Structure 1
Amino acid sequence: MDKWFKRNGQHMAIIGIFLIVCFFYFTPAFSGKTLGQSDVVGAQSTQKEINDYREKGQTILWTNQIFGGMPAYQIWAPYPNNITTWVVKAVKTVLPNPVDTVLILLLGTYLLLNVLKVKPWLAGAGAIAFTFSSYNIILLTAGHSNQAFAIAFFAPVIAGIILTFRGKYLTGAALTALFLAMEIRANHIQMTYYLMLALLILLGIELYHAFKGKTMPAFVKSVTYLAAALVLAVLVNISMLWSNAEYAKDSYRGKSNLTKNAKEPKNGLDKDYAYEWSQGVGECFTFLIPNAYGGGNGTETLDKTSATAKVFLNKNVAEEQAVNYAQQLSNFPGLSLYWGNKPGTAGPFYFGAVICFLFVLGLIIVRNRLKWWLLATVLLTMLLSFGKNLPFLSDLFFNYFPLYNKFRAVESILAVASLCFPILAVLAIQELSDNPDKAAIFKKLKIAFFIVGGITLLMIAIPDALLNFRSDDQAAGVSNLTQALQGDSNMAQSIASALREDRISLERTDAIRTLIFVVVAFGLLWAFVKQKINLTVMSIGLFALVLVDMWQIDKRYLKDANFQDKVDADAAVKPREVDSFIMRDNDPDFRVFDASANIKFDVFNPFFHKSVSGYSAARLKRFDELIDNQFSKSINHDVLDMLNTKYIITTDPKTQQASMQVNHTACGNAWFVKNIRFADNADQEMQAISSFSPKDEAIVDKQYTKMIDTKPTAFDAAAKITLTNYNPDHMTYESTSGTPQVAVFSEIYYDKGWTMLIDGKESPYFRSDYVLRAASIPVGNHKIEFVFHPASYYTGETISLIGSILLLLALGGAIYIGVKKQPELAVK
């Protein structure tokens, strides 16, 4: 045991420091406070019905709370047979949010760098650099926990793969399977996709060297083990993956049903929407100088010493009012401190002054073939992050690479680059310490210093010669500001010029700061090369320097003030008087339409009602098309009726007083129709529901002709169909009619998992009125049920259990072999 502690003492000390860093940076989290409350509250609104049933001890896989209805596993679903579910629960039980994610980031990166045989203190510095790269911290601040959690497993997945390629086949494959399973479980496909791009480059480089070094048998063996690990990770998550893949075709990101009046392309996202958050080419200066582009919206404020405030002060405006005016300029387009061409940003991608310097050094001195993988990955991710600013390459991926057109905010691919930078940085220090030719290494060190230091000096001396510090839409902002200043264009121009001065001042201040960190880092390396200090002192010095560097910048975006007391959504969101009135209605299944709400971004109404609106990035494509075509220009009352919209809320624009009216023409939960009108395609179907009588006729695509008896049948005016039992994924109706009838159900059509039973026997149903369900009901009295029991989830859970058991066996086997080999190593 003493030998174990002696052998691992440094590792334990560094892990202890990680814990101390987490405690001091995230102190409020340990006292019960949390981040991202607006996102949490928004999520709780979409989960309202799901959570209500969970409190009753019941899991539902369909919810009618938003957009008329959609699968619940796109919002929340349990995966009890997935071992990673229990790992996540254990981590979140022990550690508060976001400390759990931060610690995984730290430990995962530390593991990777140790696998790369980096000295412990250097590995610790690299772990700090990646974990506290500004993008990760900004994600945590915004409450994007799934995305940050997915990024946290980048490093350990790579660690497992590298171990496998180094000949530790079972251990490497088992760890790869575990960490890849966790990566997939984070359920952020975009981040996982970006990681896969980097891994494909790594695979290509390993293949090249295997072919060149004539070690193809070992390469094939490694790839075989890794393929098995991939299969195992997929099996563990098959329930989630199968459900998502099945739903994706019908989701907002799937293929368009319309050929006319379609706001989205035939497949994938609209390109402008996908590219909306594209990294500006010049914005890459922020890797080194965080405020090169003005920082983020709202992260920097203009005080009384700013040039902008002085413009108002020179007009004899009171100091407090002048500062207030200056800070309100961000309300005008192009007049915020951030001047890039994104619609807005919470902050820049800052990789660290020290890390950027060491990265350049790594490009010069590192001989490890991983350098070429890291460089290729950085170049690819940077180029793809440019999006609309480099359309040739971006369009190539968007149009031809599978799934790529499903993702938006392409700048987020830089999360991969933010890992590559510190890896190469610490490999550079490792190379510097291992290379005996200190004279040659010092020359290369000076070259790196002159490159990075020179760029920084230029950004201090003549920043406006390299960057223009004007936003693309500044002219529009000046025009709007002129109107606000009652036509005083000279004043508006003076303010815009002063704002540019403030942007330059922010950049210059950060450039000076960067230069100081680069000089200190160079000084540490100089002292080591000249044998003034030993490796341990130099490594600890770099660890501390990187920590101070990243900490200072991150505190601009995640301060103690960002933490709040945990909010109970029921307490945080208060119902209006009209909401309270509607909630007294005991009808279990009707919808509410709030005409004043943004239909696609409504996180308020679903707290209280089953709503026509809502918020979900994975809403059904057909319902999204319904909104675009029937609600964007004017509200189609016929569509509200068919959606059983019982109450309509309006808000007085002047008083903001909400009022409500009962919609007496709402069709109800289900009804029999007199006529069927067939449409040739989705376009005709959409056109037909633009003006029709939903209570009397159903608009049906001709593909369902065989499910309907088209022979003339007398309409039974006395026939009835009523909802007798409501459960979101098990609806029960009773019908009575003297002749066969066609019933329309005011429930959203989704053909994957829903089964209709008539008197316990499965019967066909079809789509009606573009988004609803309909069915032919025989004469007589019948019990009709709609049951949602998707095989993708339930069968997937069985497969997931098998995968979880196999993963445990693989990990157990790796541990057993590792323990068994240790005595042999001791004897040798």
Structure 2
Amino acid sequence: MNNWFKRNSIHFLIAAIFLVICFLYFTPAFQGKTLGQVDVFGAQSTQKEINDYKAKDTTILWTNQIFGGMPTYQIWAPYANNIASTVVNVLIAVFPNPIYDVLLFLFGTYFLFSVLKLNPWFAAAGAVAFTFSSYNIILLVAGHSNQALAIAFFAPIIASVLLTLRGRYILGGSLTALFMALEFKANHIQMTYYLLMALVILVCIELYHAIKSKTTPAFLKSMAYLGGALVLALLVNASLLWSTLEYSKYSYRGPSNLTQHTKEPSNGLSKTYAYEWSQGVGECLTFLVPNAYGGASGPSEAIDQNSATAKVFLDKNIPADQAVNYAQQISGIPGLNMYWGNKPGTSGPFYFGAVICFLFLFGLLIVKSRLKWWLLGTVVLTMLLSFGGNWPYVSDLFFNYFPLYNKFRAVESILAVAGICFPILAFLAVQEIVNATDKNAILKKLYLSFYIVGGLTLLLIALPQLLLSFKSTDAQTGINYLTQAFKGDSATANSVANAIVSDRIDLERADAVRTLIFVVITFGLIWLFIKQKVNLTVLSLGLFAIVLIDMWQVDKRYLKEANFQEKQDANQVVKPREVDTFIARDPDPDFRVFDLTAEIKNDETNPFFHKSISGYSAARLKRYDELMDNQLATNPPNHDVLDMLNTKYFITQGQSQSISMQANSTACGHAWFVKSVKLVDNSDQEMQAISSFAPKDEAIVDKQYKHLFDGTQLSTDPSATITLTHYNPDHMTYQSGSTTAQIAVFSEIYYDKGWKMYIDGKEQPYFRADYLLRAALIPVGNHKIEFIFHPASYYTGEKISLAGSILLVLALGGAVYTENKKKKPVVAAKKA
């Protein structure tokens, strides 16, 4: 045991250093503060009803709190039989947010570099480089923990795949299954998709070399283990993936139900929406020089009294403090931001590190491993796809023809994959230097790399406008706004705009100088090692230190102590208005409220207090989204549709900005019997029909459901009743009484993948009416009617997840046993 500790002492030391880095960088997190409170509040709004029932020790898979009603799969669901859920929950319980994410990044990447057989200090430096890549830190600041978690598993998945391809089949396959299970559990399909694209490139390159070297059987064996690992990871996440796959066809990202009354394509997202956040082609210079495009959008702290913008006001004899204040405010105006790229806004650039970019280019010149071609191919592809609408030739090919690709937006996020490729090749290059026998050849390529990177950086210092314009495409919009603010003084407005350009250049130039310094230090350190002026220890520790300093300095621009806030429950921050308190007195358990003062698709306040017509979710039901576009986001919204949705109250804002409430006396209630049914041919006609109709009297039904009530003698009974007697989001109970068979419409959202209807305990069919409500034929007499949400995709999926989790534990146990068994003969031989 003592020998084991001695052999692994360097790893324990590096682990301790990782913990120290986390403590120093994220000190407020250890003091109980947290990041991403805005996103947390938004999530709590969406989860209001879910959390209310969790407090009663009840799990619900359907919530009526937002958008009329939807499954909770993409909001919150327990997935208790999934072992990956247990692992993630333990991490969250032990480490404060975002420390568990950061530690996963650090140790996962360290594991990858260890598998690549790098010097431990090189591995540690590589882990720091990827972990503190600016995009990862910006995600943590924004509170996008699922996305960050998905990216954190990139490195250990790659490591496990490489182990398997190298012939460590059981260990590599088991670890691949474990980390892929955790990746799927992170539930960010877009990031997982991007990673799988990179792994496909790796497998293709490995196949080529297997054929070339005639080792195809070993390759096929490794692929069999990787295939088994993937299947096992899918089994572990069966309930999550099955329910997500099932729901995706009906969600906002699924196919359109309309052909005439739609703003969306027939399938997937609109290209304009998907490409909204596209990386500028020239913006890739930020990999090397973070402020090449001005950094983050919004008011900039870089604007001080020495800035050109402030001097415009100082020249007009405005006091210094006031001049700086004006200048900083102007730097937050669209078109006049320090950030001048084409994105609608950004929290910061993709910065991979000056040290890493220099070593990456060096790696392209000296690394002999075939991994170089995988890394280069992946970087080139991800860069081309990140350009989206700015250079659409490759993106359009994927968007139009590759499965699922058109479901994703913010295409720039694919650069997270490039973010792991850069440090891998960078430190493979350093390892190549250590192992090289021909130091002179290495030195020549080091000079070439230095000339290229150093020359580019010098150009960005001396003549930056040769490469960059520093002018945003919407600059004139900002100038027009300023002209109006300056009461028609267009000369001053143009002077300010020109000063903003000057400040952008100064910002870029300062960062280019900074980058050149780090490149020179890196070059010098490697040169000294090649010339045998310093030893391996100095090189290793030196690279670790300069990578840490480089990344730390830039990340602190985006994650400061000020970004941490005291952990607060949303109920402490979001206080009910007077109208909310009044509406809450209504004892009715199930009605809806429409807050006309909020954006209908981005309302994170109203759902805190009421079951809402609006809400926020990127996975809302497609039919409801289409209804909003055509009937509710209009001016005025369709009152007939609001009635059928049982909208009892409207929240409005008067001319004096006061918030008021209006009761809706024509709301249809929870359920009602209609006098007639109007059959239509398709969803387009259905949407057109509900544009003007009497929902209390008439039901609009697609003719595909005609067989469910055709031939039944339907007649009206004025004395018939149907009332809600029990409310649970997953289990609605009604009592009906009628002397005739009638069609009842329920003011609940139609989703037949899990909802079942029972009349007096016997399952009966139901159908869709009024575009998205439930309806059913109710027989003569008094009946108990129940709608129960019991999706097989979740409940059967949970059983499969349990079986998969057991198999995964057994596989990991088998891997440990096999690895120990391999070591025993070595130990025995030493003793002999």
List aligned pairs for 1:133-532, cutoff 5 A. Answer: 133-298=133-298, 300-301=300-301, 302-532=303-533
SS of equivalent to 2:807: helix
2:649 to 617, 627, 647: 647
Report which stretch shifted further, 609-618 or 708-717: 708-717
Q: CA deviation at 1:419?
A: 0.3
Q: How many Å separate the matches in 2 of 1:286 and 1:383? A: 15
SS of equivalent to 1:614: coil
Q: CA deviation at 1:569?
A: 0.9
Q: CA deviation at 1:440?
A: 1.4
CA contact (8 A) 1:177 1:230 kept: yes
Identity, in percent, stands at 70
List aligned pairs for 1:653-668, cutoff 5 A. Answer: 654-668=655-669
List aligned pairs for 1:87-98, cutoff 5 A. Answer: 87-98=87-98
Q: How many Å separate the matches in 2 of 1:342 and 1:459? A: 22
Q: CA deviation at 1:711?
A: 5.3
1:59 and 2:67 equivalent? Answer: no
SS of equivalent to 2:292: helix
Aligned residue number for residue 629 of structure 1: 630
Q: CA deviation at 1:477?
A: 1.6
Q: How many Å separate the matches in 1 of 2:556 and 2:711? A: 69
Deviation per residue, 1:57-101 (Å, 9 max, x gap): 000000000000000122100011000111011111111110000
Q: CA deviation at 1:714?
A: 2.6
Q: CA deviation at 1:710?
A: 5.2
Q: CA deviation at 1:713?
A: 3.0
Aligned residue number for residue 575 of structure 2: 574
1:42 and 2:20 equivalent? Answer: no
Report which stretch shifted further, 718-727 or 387-396: 387-396
Aligned residue number for residue 78 of structure 1: 78
Report which stretch shifted further, 654-663 or 572-581: 654-663
Deviation per residue, 1:415-450 (Å, 9 max, x gap): 000000000000000000100111111111111111
Amino acid of the structure 2 residue aligned with 1:564: Q
CA contact (8 A) 1:677 1:700 kept: yes
SS of equivalent to 2:677: strand
Q: How many Å separate the matches in 1 of 2:801 and 2:272? A: 38
CA contact (8 A) 1:278 1:409 kept: yes
SS of equivalent to 2:291: helix
SS of equivalent to 1:343: coil
Aligned residue number for residue 19 of structure 2: 19
Deviation per residue, 1:199-246 (Å, 9 max, x gap): 000000000000000000000000000000000000000100000000
- What's the TM-score once normalised by structure 2's chain length? 0.99
Deviation per residue, 1:724-743 (Å, 9 max, x gap): 00000100000000100100
Q: CA deviation at 1:655?
A: 3.2
Q: How many Å separate the matches in 2 of 1:171 and 1:670? A: 58
SS of equivalent to 1:291: coil
Q: How many Å separate the matches in 2 of 1:827 and 1:531? A: 40
Deviation per residue, 1:713-763 (Å, 9 max, x gap): 331010000000000010000000010010000000001000000000000
Aligned residue number for residue 759 of structure 2: 758
Q: How many Å separate the matches in 1 of 2:357 and 2:623? A: 47
CA contact (8 A) 2:45 2:608 kept: yes
Aligned residue number for residue 725 of structure 2: 724
1:608 and 2:603 equivalent? Answer: no
Deviation per residue, 1:238-274 (Å, 9 max, x gap): 1000000000000000000000121110000010000
CA contact (8 A) 2:331 2:500 kept: no
Aligned residue number for residue 542 of structure 2: 541
Q: How many Å separate the matches in 2 of 1:581 and 1:276? A: 41
Q: How many Å separate the matches in 1 of 2:177 and 2:315? A: 65
Deviation per residue, 1:457-486 (Å, 9 max, x gap): 000000011100000111222122212211
Q: How many Å separate the matches in 1 of 2:587 and 2:213? A: 75
Amino acid of the structure 1 residue aligned with 2:307: S
List aligned pairs for 1:1-16, cutoff 5 A. Answer: 1-16=1-16
Amino acid of the structure 2 residue aligned with 1:88: V
SS of equivalent to 1:266: coil
Q: How many Å separate the matches in 1 of 2:5 and 2:687? A: 71
CA contact (8 A) 1:299 1:556 kept: no
Amino acid of the structure 1 residue aligned with 2:120: P
Q: How many Å separate the matches in 2 of 1:742 and 1:617? A: 34
List aligned pairs for 1:97-108, cutoff 5 A. Answer: 97-108=97-108
1:118 and 2:110 equivalent? Answer: no
SS of equivalent to 1:786: strand
Aligned residue number for residue 778 of structure 2: 777
Amino acid of the structure 2 residue aligned with 1:788: F
Q: How many Å separate the matches in 2 of 1:497 and 1:59? A: 58
Q: How many Å separate the matches in 1 of 2:359 and 2:394? A: 29
Q: How many Å separate the matches in 1 of 2:746 and 2:711? A: 19
Q: CA deviation at 1:574?
A: 0.2
Amino acid of the structure 2 residue aligned with 1:534: N
Aligned residue number for residue 128 of structure 2: 128
CA contact (8 A) 1:299 1:347 kept: no
Q: How many Å separate the matches in 1 of 2:118 and 2:745? A: 66
Q: CA deviation at 1:651?
A: 1.1
Amino acid of the structure 2 residue aligned with 1:706: H
Report which stretch shifted further, 330-339 or 344-353: 330-339
Aligned residue number for residue 595 of structure 1: 596
Amino acid of the structure 2 residue aligned with 1:609: H
Q: How many Å separate the matches in 1 of 2:319 and 2:610? A: 48
Amino acid of the structure 1 residue aligned with 2:814: G
Amino acid of the structure 1 residue aligned with 2:467: L
CA contact (8 A) 1:299 1:346 kept: no
Deviation per residue, 1:294-338 (Å, 9 max, x gap): 000137321111100110111222222211211122443211000
Deviation per residue, 1:752-795 (Å, 9 max, x gap): 00000000000000000001000000000000000000000000
Q: How many Å separate the matches in 2 of 1:716 and 1:95? A: 63
Aligned residue number for residue 818 of structure 1: 819
Q: CA deviation at 1:679?
A: 1.1
Amino acid of the structure 2 residue aligned with 1:193: Y
Segments of structure 2 that go 5 or more residues without pairing to the other structure are: none
1:688 and 2:689 equivalent? Answer: yes
Amino acid of the structure 1 residue aligned with 2:609: F
Amino acid of the structure 1 residue aligned with 2:743: V
SS of equivalent to 1:334: coil
CA contact (8 A) 2:260 2:684 kept: yes
CA contact (8 A) 1:278 1:410 kept: yes
Amino acid of the structure 2 residue aligned with 1:659: S
SS of equivalent to 2:261: coil
Q: How many Å separate the matches in 1 of 2:523 and 2:790? A: 63
Q: How many Å separate the matches in 1 of 2:318 and 2:750? A: 61
Q: How many Å separate the matches in 1 of 2:657 and 2:33? A: 33
CA contact (8 A) 2:678 2:699 kept: yes
CA contact (8 A) 2:243 2:794 kept: yes
CA contact (8 A) 1:596 1:650 kept: yes
- What's the TM-score once normalised by structure 1's chain length? 0.99
Amino acid of the structure 2 residue aligned with 1:401: F
Deviation per residue, 1:328-360 (Å, 9 max, x gap): 224432110000000000000000000000001
CA contact (8 A) 1:312 1:322 kept: yes
Supply the RMSD in Å over aligned alpha carbons: 0.9
Q: CA deviation at 1:708?
A: 1.5
Q: CA deviation at 1:712?
A: 5.4
Q: How many Å separate the matches in 1 of 2:220 and 2:676? A: 64
Q: How many Å separate the matches in 2 of 1:11 and 1:571? A: 44
CA contact (8 A) 2:298 2:332 kept: no
SS of equivalent to 2:8: helix
Amino acid of the structure 1 residue aligned with 2:241: L
What is the total number of aligned residue pairs between the two structures? 827
